[in-house]
Amino acid sequence: MNKKITDSGASYALSRRVMRNVPERWGKSELTQFLELMQANGIATFAGLPKWFEALERIDKTLVTDSSNLFHELKGTRVTAARLYMRAFSAYRAAARLAVSGQLYETAVLRRSIVEHAVYAWVCGHSQSHRDTWVARANGEPERKAARKAFQWNGLMQLLGTVDQKLATELGNHYDDSIDFGAHPNVEGVNLSSEVVKSEEEGTQLNTIYAHGPEAIVLAITDIINTMQLVYRLLLHSVGDRMRVLSIDQRFEADVQFIVALFDEYRRARSTGDNGDSRTDGSVT
């Protein structure tokens, strides 16, 4: 098996030197070398794709950093929802970490996690029966079976559809996309991150791509941004009143305008002849 690891290429940016101590054995195994390289890839993305990195930072600041204010003094029906939304935010940061490192396939796993946590959060705030079932899930096998039945994905999408059919449709499509490209071990995602090469001299050879380059990083960032726009729309249904008081809705709209302009610029640049990822040309919804 061959392992192919690519980074974001050389970039020049204003920099500062940071000295740090590491354990003596750090960097002497393939795993720790890989972890170091992924961190270096993230820094390279910060330098080489600064606007795309800024897009992630803007979403983080508007939704994640201000979450303590967003969920401040919540009580009663909103507490369970708040706990689940916080896990969606945590999954977003984990997905961003993988995306800027070029780990496109693995990012899809966390996109699914973001969506699931946010949908569970919405439904637990919307439906007392779902909330009670979720809270009781760990009490025993009957409660576990009841929770599995109550939280079947199609049923959740049908319930959301009674409130916002457009959002339910878009969430369902995005969820399926994450499953196709990494959240489940399906052929589309695996084909993007590995290839089988056959030759008479060497026989069958498997090449595994652990980290993709800049084009795929932009695609992964775009996917995460689209995920968080769906989360934002769920939040409006859950705590829209609080978001408007804090002007989060206005800040998020400004973030979206920044991102749309960025993608338009990126698409124009690609139209000059650059070739992107074979999966899709990406889009910001």
pLDDT score of 142: 97
Does residue 232 sit in helix, strand or coil? helix
Specify the higher pLDDT residue, 14 or 252.
252
35 assigned to some structural domain:
no
Measured distance CA(235)–CA(189) in Å, rounded: 29
283: in domain? no
Count how many domains the chain has. Answer: 1
pLDDT at 270 over 90: no
CA distance 89 to 15: 29
Q: How many CB atoms lie within 10 A of CB 224?
A: 25
SS (H, E, C) 44-94: HHHHHCHHHHHHHHHHHHHHHHCHHHHCCCCCCCHHHHHHHHHHHHHHHHH
| Token pair recorded at residue 276 | 């992107």
pTM of the model: 0.87
**Tens digits of residue pLDDT in 186-225:** 898 888 888 788 877 777 888 888 888 999 999 999 999 9
- Sheet of 203-211: strands edge to edge? 2-5, 203-211, 194-199
Residue 273 confidence class, pLDDT cut points 50, 70, 90 = low
Q: What is the reported pLDDT for 269?
A: 86
Evaluate whether residue 264 is within a structural domain: yes
Residues in the chain: 285
Look at residue 145 and tell me if it is in a domain. yes
Digit-coded pLDDT (tens) for 88-131: 999 999 999 999 999 999 999 999 999 999 999 999 999 999 99
Q: Which residue has the higher pLDDT, 279 or 46?
A: 46
Minimum mean pLDDT among 3-17, 19-33, 186-200: which range?
A: 3-17
Look up residue 139 and give its DSSP letter.
G
Residue 32 within a domain: no
Q: How many CB atoms lie within 10 A of CB 84?
A: 21
pLDDT at 267 over 80: yes
> In this predicted structure, what is the pLDDT of residue 203?
77
Give the 3-state secondary structure of residue 196: strand
Query: 2 versus 177: which is more confidently predicted?
Result: 177
pLDDT of residue 69: 85
Is residue 83 a part of any domain in this protein? yes
Residues 238, 119: Cα–Cα separation, whole Å: 10
Average the pLDDT over 4-33 and give the result.
76
Strand partners, 203: 199
pLDDT in tens, 49-62: 999 999 999 999 99
Residue 99: burial class (beta carbons within 10 Å; 0-12, 13-18, 19+): buried
Q: How do strand 203-211 and strand 2-5 relate by DSSP bridges?
A: parallel
- Distance from CA of residue 47 to its chain's centroid? 21
pLDDT, tens digit (0-9, with 9 covering 90-100), for 254-263: 999 999 999 9
> b/e for 63-77, b at 16 or more Cβ within 10 A?
bbebbeebbeebeee
pLDDT of residue 99: 97
Within a domain: 14: no
pLDDT given for residue 238 in this prediction: 93
Residue 17, SS3 per DSSP: coil
Domain that holds residue 160: 2-9+40-270
The answer as to whether 17 is a domain residue is no
pLDDT value for 284: 57
